[in-house]
């Protein structure tokens, strides 16, 4: 993964609750990240992945009563880091993503920022360096 140095990392935010998404967006903006979204559904998030230059994602494990597992798989296969922030138990996370950063509510601003920066600094854990758009076009 390669970041453009003249711009902040683009972070896809996937959260369906307005108060939580506003708080996470505030944290990201104050920490120098560019927020894409928030996406309020899996479909909306996939559209952002296809149409935007995403560097990482911050997402709930469930949006609008739909598990975000397909997003985790697409992000992982594309080599894009992500951090899960949720009130749901870690057991809700598919075991294949059990090694990913996971933050439970309530959270501190610093926990979000540290986890996201660490995820951006790590090489991809699973998948290949191809773009998410290429992956989805091949499907």
Domain residue spans of the chain: 10-134
Global pTM reads: 0.84
Q: pLDDT digits over 98-135, tens only?
A: 889 999 989 999 999 999 999 999 865 544 334 444 44
Q: pLDDT digits over 61-81, tens only?
A: 999 999 999 999 999 999 999
List the structure tokens of 101. 């950063």
Classified by CATH at the fold level, domain 10-134 comes out as: Rossmann fold (3.40.50)
Strand partners, 104: 86
- Residue 3 reports pLDDT greater than 90: no
């Amino acid at each position: 993964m390669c970041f453009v140095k003249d711009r902040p990392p683009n972070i896809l935010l996937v959260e369906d609750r307005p108060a939580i998404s506003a708080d996470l967006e505030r944290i990201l903006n104050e920490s120098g990240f560019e927020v894409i979204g928030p996406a309020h559904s899996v479909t909306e998030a996939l559209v952002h992945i296809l149409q935007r230059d995403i560097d990482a994602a911050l997402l709930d494990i469930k949006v609008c009563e739909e598990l975000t597992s397909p997003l985790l798989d697409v992000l992982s296969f594309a080599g894009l880091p992500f951090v899960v922030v949720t009130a749901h138990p870690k057991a809700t996370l598919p075991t294949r993503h059990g090694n990913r950063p996971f933050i439970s509510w309530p959270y501190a601003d610093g926990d979000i920022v540290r986890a996201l920066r660490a995820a951006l600094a790590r090489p991809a854990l699973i998948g290949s360096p191809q773009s998410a758009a290429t992956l989805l076009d091949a499907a």
